[in-house]
Chain A
Amino acid sequence: MSDENQNMEEMIKQLTARVEALEENAPNDKLTIGMISGNLDYTIAALIVALGATAYDMEVDLFFTFWSIAALRDPKKHPKKDSLGKMFGAMLPSSSKKLPLSKMQMLGMGPPMIRAVMKMHKAKSLEELIKDAAEFGIRIHICEMSMDVMGFKKEEMIDYPHMDFVGVGTFVDMFQDSKQCWFM
């Protein structure tokens, strides 16, 4: 074999290794959304985009932190809590139905008004969107630290088929593998 051929083979080997490394690190058809606001409007927007992405066969992971977790509480579930947890629990929205708006809250009149207007326009409610999310395999990850800070318990979360309780490492791992990552 000539020197030239040997060089060529060496080059191909190196290139193959580099392409393989690139492929392994390339983002996949995934969308990761970090949730924090806890507002009705932000939560609806995130779910609509997430569902749209699933129509394009994208995998979607939602990472719920701080105020946003209240949207996942089930008002019918009342696990045992310490006094601080009870206090937080009472002050924060007891379910998705009690979320405030980021604008036009109007002393609590805003959210039911928006819900009525959305219904008039045949837009899905937040609760219907969550149901769709379950059907389309959107995964919900709840930040365990936030949950502890807010005094929330795993036992008070809604029944959702693709839900787990994780830390920031999982979020980083998810967005490294995603084409898009948002925080809202």
Chain B
Amino acid sequence: MSEELKALEVATEVDARGTACPGPLLDAKRAIAECPEGGVMSVLSSDEGTIIDITRWCKKMKHEYLGDFEDDGFWRVFLRKSA
């Protein structure tokens, strides 16, 4: 799973490791505007809760949740912006 995610071409990366909830969600909301339609966005978060938060957010906002994996003490979350 993580190999496939690593191979993705990321259009927009958001580093939200500096803030706790609601920081990562707000950073994602800010950055999604920059991401091209159909492009991949990745969110880096030190909060594990971000995984469930972003999964639900994607479902509601019609983005495609691609997956996540743990990196060196933080999580990388991937999604594809709705076209």
Contacts and interface: CB of A to CB of B under 8 A. Distances in A.
Nearest to A48: B22
Interface string A111-133: 00000000001111000000010
B59 to A, nearest CB: 11
- How many B residues are at the interface, by size bracket? 10 to 19
Interface string B58-79: 0011000000000000000000
B23 A122 contact: yes
B25 A55 contact: yes
B11 interface: no
A136 interface: yes
Contact of A122 (B18, B25, B61): B18
Nearest to A50: B22
Contacts of B60: 56
B20 A123 contact: yes
Contacts of B2: none
Interface of A: 48, 51-52, 54-57, 121-124, 132, 136
20 contacts: A48-B21, A51-B22, A51-B26, A52-B22, A54-B29, A55-B22, A55-B25, A55-B28, A55-B29, A56-B60, A122-B18, A122-B23, A122-B46, A123-B19, A123-B20, A124-B22, A124-B23, A132-B26, A136-B26, A136-B29
